[in-house]
């Protein structure tokens, strides 16, 4: 079954523009309710979380109306991280979980992500089935079987307590000064609280959401302020979450930034040494640096690559029985603890390593020397298909031939924004600039 509405991470768009309208959210809620209620009998439940965007109120109310119209009982969690929704869906025996968030995107965007009763994101087949229901007439529940909605006050607290249990009993972060940047997003309460309760000295940034400042010059996509704060305050480490806290980048004591590849390298090595890394395998996407692959190989470990998107990482992990994976962007998936990327719990794993080894962040977060990598984005308008142009295809073939044996090239459309992403890796930096620059020029000419 094909999907038109869903992308690589749920449904996304600009708030109050299709498909992120109240009308579409209502119909999407009704379609999801019909799919999961299997007939509309009362008793089915759904948990809904959100980040801190102003538009979340509109979409939350519309989804609730659609879901209750098909007999679903709605439990409203308020602002919580995306991984909390995955956890609470399973913990509270819900039939479906929904997170309203556009993750690292600007405040004017929003999105809707669905989780199944097992806490994992829906498969392509399930999303396609919901779209098929959406295309037809959605039968409402009988008047006496309309669902109810209520606020859940302890959802955030449940997640905070669970996050702490992912460290060994008695583990403490005392003596560590930690800068935590919450991007004015969904973890603005949970993350500082977890770190403080575990004993860390906490300096919190991005914890004053106003509905419009989420990800604005803060968080995992803008870590410079946090880096400056780490250095200015003599902190041991900085953790930068994104708007829904399912990804993290880290900053060492010198203000140097470490991406998801370095974090995964550290965790893979530690877990392998502790005989915790299933089948000696890490799962990552095609975007992860070639240096990571070489590093793992040097330690007798294996890297499996997937398409871009943490959902595809998770699908491969579940299919192969692997328990560690993620993305260069900072999604770190640990299925021993979470059903999706969890920036806070990943950060706790690194902090535990620091506490146990007494090693500085600069040592732990520079596990390998990255192969030079260059990524540039080209934005296009609705209806344009720049990749189909003959000149672009010819330029791609030429670039691949030049990189053969010395690097690699990856060109793809973003699954969350109208962008063509052009990425190449090569030890020769001059060649790297020539290839990526030439391809960007060709794509822009096609537009």
Among the listed residues 37, 69, 103, 329, the single catalytic one is 103
Using CA atoms, how far residue 442 sits from 10, 92, 149, 276, 387, in Å, is 31, 51, 52, 47, 10
Neighbours of 274 (CB within 10 A): 8
The residue written with tokens 């968080």 in the block is: 219
Alpha carbon dihedral 308, 77, 52, 71, in 10-degree steps, equals: 80
Alpha-carbon distance 56 to 17, whole Å? 14
Instruction: Name the phi and psi angles at 322, rounded to 5.
Output: -90, 155
Per 3-state DSSP, what percentage of the chain is helix, strand, and coil (rounded to 5)? Answer: 40, 20, 40
Active-site residue flag, 307: no
For Cα atoms 104, 96, 37, give the angle at the middle one, nearest 5 degrees: 145
Alpha-carbon distance 292 to 342, whole Å? 20
CB-CB contact of 267 with 283 (8 Å): no
Residues near 106 by beta carbon (within 8 Å), at least 6 away in sequence:
214, 215, 216
CB-CB contact of 81 with 186 (8 Å): yes
| Tokens found for residue 379 | 């934005």
CB-CB contact of 386 with 443 (8 Å): yes
* Catalytic positions, written as ranges: 103
């Amino acid at each position: 079954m094909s999907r038109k509405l869903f992308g690589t991470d749920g449904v996304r768009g600009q708030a109050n523009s299709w498909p992120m309208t109240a009308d579409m959210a209502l119909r999407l809620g009704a379609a999801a309710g019909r799919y999961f209620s299997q007939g509309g009998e009362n008793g089915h439940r759904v948990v809904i979380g959100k980040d801190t965007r102003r538009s979340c109120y509109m979409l939350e109310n519309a989804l609730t109306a659609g879901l209750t119209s098909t007999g679903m009982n709605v439990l409203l969690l308020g602002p919580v991280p995306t991984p909390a929704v995955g956890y609470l869906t399973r913990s509270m025996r819900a039939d479906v979980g929904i997170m309203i968030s556009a993750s690292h995107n600007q405040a004017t965007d929003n999105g809707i992500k669905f989780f199944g009763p097992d806490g994992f994101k829906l498969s392509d087949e399930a999303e396609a089935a919901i779209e098929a229901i959406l295309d037809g007439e959605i039968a409402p529940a009988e008047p006496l079987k309309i669902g109810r909605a209520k606020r859940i006050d302890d959802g955030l607290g449940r997640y905070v307590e669970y996050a702490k249990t992912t460290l060994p009993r008695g583990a403490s972060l005392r003596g560590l000064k930690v800068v935590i940047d919450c991007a004015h997003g969904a973890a603005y309460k949970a993350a500082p609280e977890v770190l403080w309760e575990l004993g860390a000295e906490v300096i919190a940034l991005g914890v004053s959401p106003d509905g419009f400042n989420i990800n604005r010059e803060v968080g995992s996509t803008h870590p410079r302020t946090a880096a400056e704060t780490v250095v200015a305050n003599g902190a041991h480490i900085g953790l930068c979450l994104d708007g829904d806290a399912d990804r993290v980048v880290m900053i060492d004591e010198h203000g140097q930034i470490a991406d998801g590849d370095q974090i995964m390298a550290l965790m893979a090595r530690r877990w392998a040494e502790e005989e915790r890394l299933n089948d000696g395998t890490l799962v990552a996407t095609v975007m992860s640096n070639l240096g990571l692959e070489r590093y793992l190989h040097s330690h007798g470990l294996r890297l499996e690559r997937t398409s871009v998107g943490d959902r595809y990482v998770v699908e491969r992990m579940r299919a192969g029985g692997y328990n560690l994976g993620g993305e260069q962007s900072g999604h770190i998936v640990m299925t021993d603890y979470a059903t999706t990327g969890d920036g806070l719990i990943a950060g706790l794993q690194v902090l535990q390593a620091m506490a146990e080894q007494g090693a500085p962040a600069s040592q732990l977060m520079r596990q390998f020397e990255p192969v030079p990598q260059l990524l540039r984005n080209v934005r296009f308008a609705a209806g344009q298909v720049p990749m189909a142009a003959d000149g672009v295809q010819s330029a791609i073939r030429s670039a691949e031939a030049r990189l053969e044996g010395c690097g690699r090239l990856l060109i793809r459309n973003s699954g969350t924004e109208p962008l063509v992403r052009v990425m190449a890796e090569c030890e020769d930096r001059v060649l790297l600039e020539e290839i990526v620059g030439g391809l960007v020029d060709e794509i822009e000419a096609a537009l």
